[in-house]
């Protein structure tokens, strides 16, 4: 069966520090991968999605970036975090566009 | 802009009662999906209904879709305290088939 791992679960970072969040999927090949941010009490905002290695689409302008160095690995990065980057970050995968998405347990990011 | 909007924003019911949650959307869809999120966790896919379907069932869940009214409803029958969570509708639209989530409904089921 397929599983998705996302870490760390919680992260507290100072303003201006770098960020690297990692997500890996097991049990499937060539998944579509997604990064979302969820503000408190709000819906999900799609940040990036990828349909293949090295293929990244950005949905919103921001100081975050994403990379897909391997088929089942998706990384969310920032060179310098802002206070507004605080939130709950979720990684997800699907077997194709319009298909159900399967989510990791998220990373709670707090910027001080 | 928000494609799917759920109604009500919050719902509190007694265990054993049915819970009905509604979702309205603005543009034509390929399919509509409902997800559940327990506090502090990731979302879990519940059910997908295609634009040419009117009703689907999964266990205690019943989803309807009315494309003429651009609306969907999620019914949870015989609710349990464990059903307490946030529920999101998400629509798939357009050629690129992106999933757009609503803001969610907070369901509280009192034991």
Does B95 score more than 80 pLDDT? no
The closest CB to that of B48, out of A6, A43, A100, belongs to A100
Does B4 score more than 90 pLDDT? no
Which helix (H) or strand (E) element contains residue A71?
none
pLDDT band for position B25 (50/70/90)? very high
Give the span between the Cα atoms of A46 and A55, in whole angstroms: 16
Interface test with A, best of B35, B40, B42 (most A CBs within 10 A): B42
Q: Does B50 touch chain A (CB under 8 A)?
A: no
Does A22 score more than 70 pLDDT? yes
pLDDT band for position B8 (50/70/90)? confident
Percent of chain B scoring above 90 in pLDDT? 81
Percent of chain B scoring above 70 in pLDDT? 95
Residues from chain B that touch A41, judged by Cβ atoms under 8 A, are: 103
pLDDT for res B2: 53
Q: Which of A112, A103, A109 is nearest to A20 (CA)?
A: A109
Does B27 score more than 80 pLDDT? yes
Q: Which of B109, B106, B110 is nearest to B10 (CA)?
A: B106
- What would the two tokens of residue A100 be? 């159900």
Digit-coded pLDDT (tens) for A64-80? 999 999 999 999 999 99
Give the span between the Cα atoms of B49 and B35, in whole angstroms: 12
* Sole residue written with tokens 């029958």: B77
Q: Strand ranges (DSSP E) for B8-97?
A: 10-14, 19-24, 31-37, 43-50, 55-58, 61-66, 71-76, 85-93
- Cβ pair B2:A102 closer than 8 A: no
| Averaged pLDDT of chain A | 93
pLDDT for res B21: 96
Q: Is A104 helix (H, G, I), strand (E, B) or coil?
A: coil
Residue B67 is classified by DSSP as: T
Is the dihedral angle over the CA atoms A28, A29, A32, A34 positive or is it negative?
positive
> Of A32-46, A97-111, B95-109, where does the model show the most confidence?
A97-111
- Cβ pair A101:B92 closer than 8 A: no
pLDDT for res B94: 77
Does B97 score more than 80 pLDDT? no
Percent of chain A scoring above 90 in pLDDT? 85
The closest CB to that of B42, out of A42, A100, A105, belongs to A105
Digit-coded pLDDT (tens) for B66-77? 999 999 999 999
What is the mean pLDDT of the segment spanning B2-26?
90
Range from A1-5, A65-69, B74-78, B84-88 carrying the lowest mean pLDDT: A1-5
pLDDT band for position B1 (50/70/90)? very low
Interface test with B, best of A43, A92, A110 (most B CBs within 10 A): A43
């Amino acid at each position: 069966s397929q599983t998705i791992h996302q870490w760390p679960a919680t992260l507290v970072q100072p303003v201006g520090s770098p960020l690297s969040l990692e997500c890996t999927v097991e049990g499937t090949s060539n998944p579509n991968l997604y990064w979302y941010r969820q503000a408190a009490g709000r819906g999900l905002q799609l940040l990036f999605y990828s349909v293949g290695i090295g293929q990244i689409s950005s949905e919103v302008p921001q100081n975050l970036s994403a990379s897909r160095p391997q088929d089942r690995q998706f990384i969310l990065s920032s060179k310098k975090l802002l206070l507004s980057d605080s939130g709950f970050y979720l990684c997800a995968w699907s077997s194709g566009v319009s298909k159900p998405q399967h989510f990791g347990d998220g990373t709670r990011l707090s910027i001080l | 802009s928000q494609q799917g909007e759920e109604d009500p924003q919050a719902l509190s019911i007694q265990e054993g009662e049915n819970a009905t949650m509604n979702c309205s959307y603005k543009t034509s869809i390929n399919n509509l999906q409902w997800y559940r999120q327990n506090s502090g966790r990731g979302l879990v896919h519940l059910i997908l209904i295609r634009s040419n379907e009117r009703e689907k069932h999964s266990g205690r869940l019943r989803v309807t879709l009315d494309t003429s009214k651009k609306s969907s409803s999620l019914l949870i029958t015989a609710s349990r305290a464990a059903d307490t969570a946030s529920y999101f509708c998400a629509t798939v639209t357009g050629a690129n088939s992106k999933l757009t989530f609503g803001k969610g409904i907070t369901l509280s089921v009192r034991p």
